[in-house]
Structure 1
Amino acid sequence: MFYRKPVLAVLLGLIFLSFFGTLCASALMFPETYDWRYRVISNLLSPRDNPGHYWLPACGMALAALFMLPFARYLQRHLEISSPRVARVSYRTFVAGIVALVCTCLIVPQHIHGVFGIWRLHEFLARSSAAFLALGMLCGCWCAWKGCRKSVLAARLFWTWSCVTLLPLVGVLFSECLLLLTRLKLSWAMPVRNGLRHSVFWHLGFWEWTGAAAVFVFLCAAVFLTPSLAVLEAKVREG
């Protein structure tokens, strides 16, 4: 039932409302001016930065993560046609990313004390969730690439997935590498840093929001640019 396209389309709507809807509502009620290009999402989940409404995005994001669970199995059943092993990796990494995202919402940012003796546990879980989801998306891109010559629809899926996966990933890696190089105080890296420090591309908040939108578009493409499971299974039986 959960793998039918109409049901998945409804889940996409619920994910959008529970994730982006609660984040936007919380941003509007944020004590200070919240600019998504420069502020990280964790500011909205922080009891210190958003004392009145931090629970709203935390609940919304956790609910959105639970709505994503059927997509992990749906993707596996589609991807295993190209590579069963990679499909299993994609499924497990998606589930791990979803679990880490739920834990991220339950463990809000702590600015003074560690949680379970671990300092910055919220940030660690958030980065783990992003890494697992990115790995699952890369597995999907690889499987889509193997099947992109079979039909125009498969080629569209590959290019859509590749764009929404690789562009944010390259941007984040470039930003983090440049930040690391500037901390090493390399002479050639400092002018680049000074030129980009006021750009949105330098700030993690921009890439967090971009990455969240990329995951949502990835799931939308998985629903609307893939054949139904019934058609897919019929092709497998014929083959």
Structure 2
Amino acid sequence: MLLYRKSTLAVLLALIFFSFFGTLTASAWMFPKNYDWRYRVISNLLSPRDNPSHYWMAASGLALTGLLMLPFAGYLRRHLGVIAPRTANIGAGTFTAGIIALICACFVVPQHTHDVLGVRRLHELLGRSAAGFLAMGMLCSCWCAWKGRGRNRFAAQLFWIWSLVTLLPLVGIFFSESLLLLTRLEPSWATPIHSALRHSVFWHLGFWEWTGAVAVFLFLCAAVFLTPRRATLPYVDPFDCAVTSLYDNLAT
């Protein structure tokens, strides 16, 4: 398909770069207060309260980024499905779910005062869901690359690069969130932890959000430029073939 050609996907990557990093950088530059990406979350740029004049720019760029990312879910399933069809299908599904949650988060105003559709902090819920589903899709892709690393040199390269860009932000976010949870469960530990880490960027969620965004972009770049033009088919379990056939029939 034309949509899955490397040249087409390379153009989509360029558009993703400008729609995400370009619009958010412009919005941050015009932010009413000093926006430091190491300490401020991306949601501040989407908030009418924090960024009243240009929140629409950040929201539009982020929503467009999600739309441009959708073809990559099918591309990953197409290439990784020859190695582990079931895992590739799960990865493509969760990656798509993460993109949809990301797009939805752009249309929900970040605020903590009123419930939206009966849910308090719906924007945060959608944002965390997007991050979680995207991470699951990336981990499934890493597993597929690991499974095919012995038979395909491209899979081996992808595994190490994908693992690096996937696990590093996940470990950082897990560490940061664990410390935050610990301060809530043990208030007596809050002061020492805050004193030790208050000047560290690793304590702030904003740093890991931006790191994760860069990681997703690098993940997609590796998927496009390090995969062969045609996927080579190793031995595939018959049940996996049936799953792939069923998935394709449902998709059509």
Q: Distance in 2 between matches of 1:22 and 1:110?
A: 21
Which residue pairs with 1:114 in the alignment?
A: 115
Q: Deviations over 1:71-111 (max 9, x none)?
A: 00000011111211101100110110011000000112124
Q: TM-score, normalised by structure 1?
A: 0.94
**Contact 1:178 1:193 (C-alpha < 8 Å) held by counterparts:** no
The equivalences for 1:95-114 within 5 A come to 95-114=96-115
Per-residue deviation at 1:187? 5.8
Residue in 2 that maps onto 1:157: 158
SS at match of 1:44: helix
**Match for 2:195: what amino acid?**
N
Give, in angstroms, the shift of residue 186 of structure 1: 6.7
Aligned to 1:55: 56
Partner-residue secondary structure (3-state), 1:32? coil
Cα deviation, residue 25, structure 1: 0.3
Unaligned 5+ runs, structure 2: 237-252
8 Å CA contact 1:96–1:132 kept in 2: the answer is: yes
Give unmatched runs, 5+ long, in structure 1. Answer: none
Distance 2:148 2:174 in 1: 28
- The count of corresponding residues between Structure 1 and Structure 2 is 235
Shift of 1:188: 6.3
* Runs of at least 4 residues off by over 3 Å: 186-193
Distance 2:41 2:185 in 1: 24
Q: 2:68 matched to which residue of 1? A: 67
CA RMSD of aligned residues (A): 1.7
Aligned-partner Cα distance in 2 for 1:84–1:71:
16
Is this contact kept in 2: 1:45–1:108, CA < 8 A?
yes
Deviation of residue 112 (structure 1)?
2.4
Give the aligned partner of residue 123 of structure 1. Answer: 124
Match in the other structure for 1:3: 4
Identity %: 68
Deviations 1:117-145 (A, max 9, x none): 21110000000000000000000000001
